[in-house]
Structure 1
Amino acid sequence: MQRPNYPSGKDLLGADSVSRDDLDDIFARAERFLAEEDEEDSPGDQPARLHLIRRRPKVIATLFDQRSTRTRLGFQAAALRLGHQSLDVYDTDRSRMGSATGETLDDHIRTVEAYSDLIVVRSHTESLPYQIGRLSYLPVVNAGNGADEHPTQALIDLFAIRKLRGDVKDLSIALSSDTRARFALSFVKMLRLSPPRRFTLCSLPDVPINPPMREAIALLASLGCKVSFVHDVRDTLEHDVLIIQMQDMSRFAHASLGSEAIDKEIETEPFTLTAKKILDAKSDTLILNPLPRFAELDVSCDALPNAGYFRQVKLSLPVRMAILERMLLGIPWTG
């Protein structure tokens, strides 16, 4: 029996869920968590979040049927920092969901509802977060679904840019990536909330731009952002920010947990970023990467002062804390 649809805005499923007011709220909460962390690191200061100890902890259910390092650990760490607990509710070796002796998705989610307060979903299929959002009265976070979207990564990327380089609207932003990559689509779609003065896409010359990405870029142009297209990463190194990942993500977008080993192929030379290219260009471009990196970002870049991708990981924690706090309070997304 089909369960009823629940109020609009309870779930974070894509970049379109987020309005400018939502973005400002997430940034304000993340800034508060960063400030509290600084206070706790100061000698002699009392813990800044004692009030969290006095309330009943919530349970964050993580349902991941796709490999993850930063997203899984990030949400689990965010839950713990907020004084909550996390619970893995899908295990490929032990879960009955979808197995020959198992249960339906509907029954599995009804069970998860009994044990938890919020569900974070990561899947190799595009449909799963949307299915769970319709089935469950709990708030649902899309933590990456196949080749569709990754809205929490987009929020992290925008916050990292804000902290490391300034207000996005004052900057030139470049993206070097497969236009089918889910993080890339969510990022460009979310740029509509604060359009940069210039946006450049670096992509393979003979591969058509993914239609949803083309639509998102057209919207940026309509908002007054100067848009351009290049086919060599060197042409992005005069920008304020470069977000880079490999140019062919098709083999990885649908990689399901435990089914294949990922071979880090050699990226074609025009799309491989090295320290030599950055130094030859005398570039101070902030380099970000959602990670894991493949051959598009050489380890020689790691020692450069403009390598921001590991700081980006650290800044992901207050953003995920802000997302969880907001959604556990029942504040709807208004995009």
Structure 2
Amino acid sequence: MRPRHATTLSTWTEQDLEALYDRARWMLGQPREVVARTGPGMLLGTLFYQNSTRSRISFEAAAHRIGGAGIGFSDVATTRAGDFYAESLEDTVRVLGSYADVLVLRHTEDDAAERAAAVSPVPLISAGTGDQEHPTQFMLDLWVIRRALGTLKGATIGYVGDPACRVARSLVYALRAFGAGGLVFLTPDGARFPADVVASMESAGLAWRTVESARELLAAVDAACIIPFELSDFHQSSVRTHSRADRLDERFVFGRELLTGPGAGVPLTHTGPRGPELPADVDDLPDVHYLDGVAKGVVLRAALLAELLARR
């Protein structure tokens, strides 16, 4: 039985992900009118308790691409969950699940996806919950990297950013499913490796180590995934104060000189929103897949919606 929900990659096997990627690859090669016949009349419900650009809008675009439409909210303050009534997450999911065919949830609480899936009457997708996981982000990033490398089996993947970020768990689970060889981390000074992330890597037989610079990382990996080097608090719905550093240490920057010299040939993705770790003047380089990943995110999420609908 394939997973009914996409709330964690810990339950998705290589076969599950291969089926998703096969569908996404098929969609890439089809005229838009053909893709629009894969989910005619489907209704997507979005429950975004936390700010989002790429995840929310790409899911909404994906619903339209397969012939459906979207409803929902992008600001909890406009709902009964965010005012005097403080409607519970469970009841909000039950209500939206009565209207829609698939739900997408982003939430500030770590256990939100698990709680929501337990009561949802329809398939539910996590678009990031607290510090726990962001499964569709690494469904996407690894699809882009796999297309560039041909295979993930035995590959060594770089991870640039804080290993305590919610995307790290999703990456480790997906690499475990594909039989990757290992991980190399470039982390902010003083970064903490969560015990469960370390345990997952070790139980999967993923060799891992840390390096001190972008140059050192690119010399050690087959491809790399980058996240924003400075993160906001994922337990808040929005963070509007600006206290980011004026300048990022050069050893963390994947600049043009590095990527056209000793770092050339290593495919790079970035979850977005990007900061100084990946300057905009590298966008034209063939190994930089930031904007390519943004565009393919619609296709990958359209394939995921179609997959979950087909499993109902």
How high is the TM-score relative to the length of structure 2? 0.90
Say whether 1:14 aligns with 2:8: yes
CA offset at residue 127 of structure 1?
2.1
Distance 1:92 1:50 in 2: 30
CA offset at residue 311 of structure 1?
0.7
Per the alignment, residue 80 of structure 2 pairs with: 96
Quick one: which amino acid aligns to residue 13 of structure 1? T
Quick one: which amino acid aligns to residue 225 of structure 2? I
Q: Structure 1 residue aligned with 2:25, among 28, 31, 35?
A: 31
- 2:228/2:273 contact within 8 Å kept: no
Distance 2:109 2:36 in 1: 40
Distance 2:96 2:300 in 1: 25
Per the alignment, residue 169 of structure 2 pairs with: 185
- 1:245/1:297 contact within 8 Å kept: no
- 1:159/1:315 contact within 8 Å kept: no
Per the alignment, residue 65 of structure 2 pairs with: 81
Q: Structure 1 residue aligned with 2:249, among 268, 286, 302?
A: 268
CA offset at residue 50 of structure 1?
6.5
| 1:230-241 correspondence to structure 2 within 5 Å | 230-238=211-219, 239-241=221-223
Distance 1:302 1:25 in 2: 30
Quick one: which amino acid aligns to residue 305 of structure 1? P
Distance 2:88 2:68 in 1: 28
Say whether 1:48 aligns with 2:34: yes
CA offset at residue 194 of structure 1?
1.4
The structure-2 alpha-carbon separation of the partners of 1:77 and 1:113, relative to structure 1 and needing over 3 Å to count, comes to same
The structure-2 alpha-carbon separation of the partners of 1:50 and 1:27, relative to structure 1 and needing over 3 Å to count, comes to closer
Quick one: which amino acid aligns to residue 241 of structure 1? A
Aligned residue pairs, count: 310
Per the alignment, residue 159 of structure 2 pairs with: 175
- 1:246/1:267 contact within 8 Å kept: no
Say whether 1:316 aligns with 2:297: yes
SS at match of 2:126: strand
SS at match of 2:237: coil
CA offset at residue 329 of structure 1?
2.1
- 1:74/1:316 contact within 8 Å kept: yes
CA offset at residue 167 of structure 1?
0.9
- 2:36/2:66 contact within 8 Å kept: no
Per the alignment, residue 113 of structure 1 pairs with: 97
Say whether 1:242 aligns with 2:224: yes
Comparing 210-219 and 57-66, the one that deviates more: 210-219
CA offset at residue 73 of structure 1?
0.9
Higher relative contact order (CA 8 A, sep 6+): 1
Q: Deviations over 1:101-154 (max 9, x none)?
A: 453334333321221111100112212222211222211111101111001111
Quick one: which amino acid aligns to residue 127 of structure 1? D
Q: Structure 2 residue aligned with 1:157, among 131, 141, 153?
A: 141
- 1:57/1:85 contact within 8 Å kept: yes
Distance 1:151 1:139 in 2: 14
Q: State the superposition RMSD in angstroms.
A: 2.4
- 2:163/2:191 contact within 8 Å kept: no
Gaps of 5+ in 1: 1-6, 41-46
The structure-2 alpha-carbon separation of the partners of 1:255 and 1:329, relative to structure 1 and needing over 3 Å to count, comes to same
- 2:90/2:119 contact within 8 Å kept: yes
- 1:252/1:262 contact within 8 Å kept: no
Distance 2:96 2:37 in 1: 27
Q: Deviations over 1:186-241 (max 9, x none)?
A: 11221011123443122246433121221232134x2xx54332121111122321
Distance 2:74 2:255 in 1: 39
Identity rate of aligned residues, in percent? Answer: 25
- 1:177/1:184 contact within 8 Å kept: no
Per the alignment, residue 43 of structure 1 pairs with: none
Per the alignment, residue 139 of structure 1 pairs with: 123
| 1:198-277 correspondence to structure 2 within 5 Å | 198-204=182-188, 206-220=190-204, 222=205, 225-238=206-219, 239-249=221-231, 251-257=232-238, 259-265=239-245, 266-277=247-258
Q: Considering only CA atoms, is the larger Rg found in Structure 1 or Structure 2?
A: 1
CA offset at residue 245 of structure 1?
2.2
The structure-2 alpha-carbon separation of the partners of 1:106 and 1:240, relative to structure 1 and needing over 3 Å to count, comes to closer
The structure-2 alpha-carbon separation of the partners of 1:50 and 1:109, relative to structure 1 and needing over 3 Å to count, comes to closer
- 2:227/2:271 contact within 8 Å kept: yes
Distance 1:88 1:314 in 2: 23
